[in-house]
Structure 1
Amino acid sequence: MADDTIPAHPDIAISNTQGHLKIDPEALRGLAGRVLLGEGVRQAEISIVLVDDQTIHALNDRHLGHNWPTDVITFPLSEPDDTTLAAELVVSAEMAVVTARQAGTDPCAELALYVVHGLLHLCGYDDQTPEDRIRIRRREDEILTSEGLTNTFSLVGPPEVTETERESVRWAV
């Protein structure tokens, strides 16, 4: 007989295709698992793919019609009524390095922010309105603080900026 007391857990795969930032896949997998469990997700199949700006730029243009690089793109692969949350997160490690350099912060913390942000989108958070942006930023901050990391977004721009404005600030040198 199966032991029903064993808790379910998220299945998280890490694929590192970039050379801009050395990452610890186990630490990233642990962070992602804690975020999902903290949001009540017990069954998940998540793939986190770390890429460079050229790759995420092409994906952003092809799938979202935005002709610029971005920090993270989330591709949900499951339906809302599925028991297992399935998705792929594509994260620009290169952007994390550049943004952290501009802000004088840790690129690994910046990368963690991108992963947390993408996962929160999967868990129902949005950032299309000022209220939604404040809500997701607060949750990001809570998570990153609990992980001992600094949320670098407040150094880049206030929550009421648009994605395009935020991207232009990130790329201003």
Structure 2
Amino acid sequence: MLKFFPEEIEFKVPQVMKTTKWIKSISESNGYKLGELNYILCSDDYLLEVNKQYLDHDYYTDIITFDNSEEEDKLEGDVFVSVDRVRDNAESLNVPFETEFRRVLIHGLLHLMGYEDSTDELKLQMRAKEDECLMLF
């Protein structure tokens, strides 16, 4: 089950039904079932506190993914998304907010599928997979 939760902000997911179907389709086409997947949509300050409390990082980020999966082929987790950071990134990258928002949503899903972005090479692979997924929207 896929859910979106605005946390301490007022925000509506653009094209929520289409976005939900898209995320489910991406997971299924990669051989995964979708279990309990929660997207928590929040502010920069809220996500900074999550980053400090759980990862011991003192900096802003656009996304933090917590993998709660217990089965190898079933994706479950909590994906925290800073809507503030997504807006800023969209502006600085000169892309529509909705495109950057979808990129961040799928980025979290890809982390749950095992994709990493800890090196420059892995970041390039992650970006290519994000682009591939965005084309399917």
TM-score (norm 2): 0.88
Question: Higher strand share goes to which structure?
Answer: 2
Structure having greater relative contact order (Cα 8 Å, sep ≥ 6)? 2
Q: Does 1:116 align with 2:102?
A: no
Match of 1:102 in 2: 92
Q: Whole-Å Cα distance in 2 between the matches of residues 99 and 131 of structure 1?
A: 21
Highest CA radius of gyration, 1 or 2?
1
Q: Whole-Å Cα distance in 1 between the matches of residues 65 and 124 of structure 2?
A: 19
Q: Does 1:130 align with 2:120?
A: yes
Q: Tell me, which stretches of 5 or more residues in structure 1 are unaligned? A: 1-10, 148-173
Q: Tell me, which stretches of 5 or more residues in structure 2 are unaligned? A: none
TM-score (norm 1): 0.71
What RMSD, in angstroms, separates the aligned Cα atoms of the two structures?
Answer: 1.7
1:66–1:139 distance in 2 versus 1, CA, 3 Å: same
Q: Does 1:91 align with 2:84?
A: no
Aligned length: 135
Match of 1:70 in 2: 61
Q: Whole-Å Cα distance in 1 between the matches of residues 36 and 5 of structure 2?
A: 14
Q: How does 1:45-84 map to 2 (within 5 A)?
A: 45-79=36-70, 81=71, 84=74
Kindly provide the CA deviation profile for residues 125-172 of structure 1, in whole angstroms up to 9, marking residues without a partner as x: 11112222221111111111222xxxxxxxxxxxxxxxxxxxxxxxxx
